[in-house]
Amino acid sequence: MCGIAGFHAHAAAARAVSRDTLIAMRDRMAARGPDGSGLWIAEDGRTGFGHRRLSIIDLSEGGHQPMATPDGRLTIVFNGEIYNYRALRDALTAAGVAFASDSDTEVMLHLYARDGAAMLGKLRGMFALAIWDARDRSLLLARDPLGIKPLYYSDTGGALTFASQVKALLVDPGVSREPSPAGLAGFHLTGSVPEPFTAWRAIKALPAGSWLRVDAAGVSAPVRYANVAQILADGRAADPASVDVAGALRDSVAHHLVADVEVGAFLSGGVDSAALIGLMRDCGQERIRACTLAFGEFEGQHQDETPGAAAVAKQYGVDHHIRRVGAAEFHGDMDAIFDAMDQPSIDGINTWFVSKAVREMGLKVALSGLGGDELLAGYSTFRTVPQMRRRFGPLGAIPGSGTMARLLLGLTGVTRRNPKAATVLDYAGSWAGAYLLRRAVLMPFELDTAMDPAMAREGLSELDPLGALERSITPDPGSDNGRVCALETGNYMRNQLLRDSDWAGMAHSLEIRVPLVDFTLLKTLAPRIATLQPGEGKRLLAAAPANPVPRAIVERSKTGFSVPVADWLAGNAVHTPDRRASRGWAKVATERSLQSVTALAR
């Protein structure tokens, strides 16, 4: 796991690499790679890479980056881990390739020399990479299929810069700091900035499962090589009964344990993390250290995850660390949180504190249960979005029904309490609309109350939220579960959960691995996803370890990975489950995030 940065002047008149700027971009991400740093600038001064290293695989200098092939043709910088690198290495060795290290980075160099961009489909892992080919003077940028690792770029005046963090790109004085209407509109709609937009107009996110090429002709449009909706659609052709769910889950966990350092785990009181702990034991890990957050405000209440986590730890023989977090630490960390938060977000505080706690334990890698709800139909959206389509979709097709509903709901006061209700008949007629109704923080018609109306109109036009959601379920996955899985995976999980895990974990130099967010696992389980009944997916996950997850954990109602932020802001000593109070953090996060954007724009 690392931080990468780079520069390439693809136009003849473009500025050359500034060594000082490249180093500053690289070192803005020092927390991502405290174990080492590297710099490479081509002889002609028009291309350069920077790297910060967190040593996980091949801890020797053999894994140092930027890394080049012996002939100097290819140079790579890479952030992430390739879990099947040993199998790929063995195949290359059998074909006569000689290796100088035991790193996954070198494997990718030789694989790219042989296969070009087609190699991306052979990689199992999480990655964002850049490869310079001196022979044809081209630069390849690529990102993993599910978007676990971020990669941002800006093309200004014929010079392309890229980095693992938006704030690293903003170090370059050549990159405009003008805010993006689309990015900020997207943030107000969903609580996170949807890719390919960022909070800045000049900076784009390379979409998950895509690559782009830069050469003398300029910067290509991103090319998608992996599509969640396509995988789910193709899975409909296979027999669901043939899927070995437990075997597929165990295989993913085994791959995610590949490391030359100890791998720990986040442990909540839910099924996802408990099952991962059990599967780690099945995969032969003898010592398992895990961390659970505890909050005084939750003590004795349903939200308290420590009793369940302790029971799981006892069952699997885990070295269990309970880390208490309180209001004073939260307020003390606030400035650091918003400095680390690379883009505006209304979430991520939970991951900040558990990452901080795990790093305090001396661990550099931890498994997270993120992705289980998206993969195994665990969210209520798998029930409510199809219900909304069935109940309100036909009514919405009646001309004038939306206007009449708004009038009636306005007279009864419903829309004052729940503004979304005013547009149910306008949106529930499509999968994208029904999903937006379920997940949106604000609806499009509310944006001019949160941002400049002209900027909101421009942002919505460019953002095209319904069109973007429709594209995430194209081609049609062919089932209700498949559609919601694709929507959740390609939007909420990708733009919110994975991105928050990246900035919050990397701020503490912690690599967070997500075995339930694995493209190979998705392919294997795709035939089964379509047929899952409510609750069935989590029961299958709980039963996957040889020693199944305790029944009490399986039957416990879902709480999510929650933190009593609203209570801390309100000064409550005991948790008060008030939905209005829970919006307090969203308000603070919005204000602080946008203040950061404004400050950086100066």
Task: Give the pair of three-digit tokens for residue 92.
Answer: 């290359």
Pairing between strand 289-294 and 319-324?
parallel
Helix, strand, coil percentages (3-state) for the chain, rounded to 5, are: 50, 15, 35
Q: Are 284 and 546 in contact (CB under 8 A)?
A: no
Measured distance CA(587)–CA(597) in Å, rounded: 15
What is the distance of C-alpha 8 from the center of its chain?
Answer: 27
Total Cβ atoms within 10 A of residue 238: 14
Measured distance CA(47)–CA(137) in Å, rounded: 10
What's the alpha-carbon Rg for the chain, to the nearest Å?
24
Task: Give the pair of three-digit tokens for residue 175.
Answer: 């990159």
Total Cβ atoms within 10 A of residue 308: 22
| CA atoms within 13 Å, Cβ hemisphere of 45 | 8
End-to-end CA distance of the chain: 32
Report the candidate in 75, 50, 58 with the shortest Cα–Cα distance to residue 140.
Answer: 75
What is the distance of C-alpha 56 from the center of its chain?
Answer: 20
Measured distance CA(204)–CA(180) in Å, rounded: 10
Pairing between strand 223-224 and 67-68?
unpaired
Task: Give the pair of three-digit tokens for residue 549.
Answer: 């997850």
Please report, to the nearest 10 degrees, the dihedral formed by the alpha carbons of residues 476, 479, 480, 484 taken in order.
-50
Side chain identity, residue 57 = I
DSSP reduced 3-state for 137: coil
Q: Are 478 and 232 in contact (CB under 8 A)?
A: yes
Longest dimension (CA), the chain: 77
Report the candidate in 206, 238, 236 with the shortest Cα–Cα distance to residue 222.
Answer: 206
Report the candidate in 79, 125, 120, 86 with the shortest Cα–Cα distance to residue 103.
Answer: 86
Peptide bond into 194 cis (omega under 30): no
Peptide bond into 66 cis (omega under 30): yes
Measured distance CA(462)–CA(316) in Å, rounded: 50
Active site residues: 2
